[in-house]
Amino acid sequence: MKAPRYTLCLVALALAGSAAGLLLSHAAPPVIHQAATPTPSDSSAVAIVRHAVTIKPGPATPTVLTNALNRSGEPVPVSCSTCHSTRSPNIERHSAAELTEFHQGLAYKHGDLSCLSCHNASNYDTLRKADSSAIAYPNVMELCGQCHGTQLRDYRAGAHGGMNGHWDLSRGSRERNNCVDCHDPHAPAYPRLKPVFAPVDRGARQQQERAAHADKESAHD
């Protein structure tokens, strides 16, 4: 007696399913590709070199200009200690108007400060901070920053004071001015200036000249 045709089909499907399951059980697991995590030994990142930012070095000691002239006709500077080291320090409060023996031509307009607010009476080659500690003259920015905090903040952010070199430190170094490169420490405010000539917009002037020339040609026509 022959089995029904649909029975043979079911048996064939069952055998095929068993064989497929047997093959899948022995198959290799799928490979999952993951991004490799870089390590210090095999990292391909390029190191960015940042060059230094330096402050223009000033004179090692404070100086004052004398009436003597050098070969170029410029006043000869001498250090303050040249004269102040020969006499006992006068710790009394003095303003520029009271200096009758020396510094008569000194322009002084710097708040309510006196000479010894910034100068160190015991060593005129150094400066004096608010806490009476002495600092070297090249560190004058540390002295100025005690009162001019806003300007010091802007200076550190690059928004105040001149500089030479590169804005992009990856391309080169940068040299910055210190306070006394631009400001007179005895009268640091810049005088108000009035422009002699009004600014000229050259583009607007050329347009006016062309329009006037075109009007003349149309009048002749």
Tens digits of residue pLDDT in 123-182: 888 899 999 999 998 888 889 999 999 998 988 887 788 888 888 889 999 898 888 888
Q: Which of 27-36, 45-54, 141-150, 202-211 has the lowest mean pLDDT?
A: 27-36
Dihedrals phi, psi of 210, to nearest 5 degrees: -65, -40
Quick check: 135 and 60 in contact, CB under 8 A?
no
Tens digits of residue pLDDT in 1-31: 544 554 444 444 455 455 444 444 444 443 3
Split at pLDDT 50, 70, 90, the class of 208 is confident
Quick check: 82 and 125 in contact, CB under 8 A?
no
Q: Please tell me which residue, 101 or 5, carries the higher pLDDT value.
A: 101
Q: Please tell me which residue, 161 or 46, carries the higher pLDDT value.
A: 161
Total residue count of the chain as it appears in this document: 221
Q: Which structure tokens are listed for 117? A: 């607010």
| pLDDT reported for residue 134 | 92
Q: Which structure tokens are listed for 213? A: 């020339």
Quick check: 163 and 175 in contact, CB under 8 A?
yes
Q: Please tell me which residue, 78 or 40, carries the higher pLDDT value.
A: 78
Map tokens 């075109």 to a residue: 214
Quick check: 140 and 146 in contact, CB under 8 A?
no
For residue 157, which of 144, 171, 167 has the smallest C-alpha distance? 167
Task: Taking residues 77-92, report their average pLDDT.
Answer: 81
Split at pLDDT 50, 70, 90, the class of 213 is confident
Counting beta carbons within 10 angstroms of the beta carbon of residue 113, is it exposed (0 to 12), middle (13 to 18) or buried (19 or more)? middle
Mean pLDDT of the chain: 75
Q: Return the top range by mean pLDDT from 44-48, 149-153, 199-203.
A: 149-153
Q: pTM value?
A: 0.57
Task: Taking residues 42-61, report their average pLDDT.
Answer: 75
| pLDDT reported for residue 219 | 66
Tens digits of residue pLDDT in 55-73: 887 778 888 877 788 999 9
* Strand extents, DSSP E, the chain: 53-55, 63-69, 75-79, 126-128, 134-136, 163-165, 174-176
Q: How far apart are CA 124 and CA 108, in angstroms?
A: 18
CA distances from 121 to 72, 127, 178, 179 (A): 33, 9, 23, 22
Q: How far apart are CA 179 and CA 8, in angstroms?
A: 102
Within a 13 Å sphere around the CA of 76, how many CA atoms are in the beta-carbon half? 7
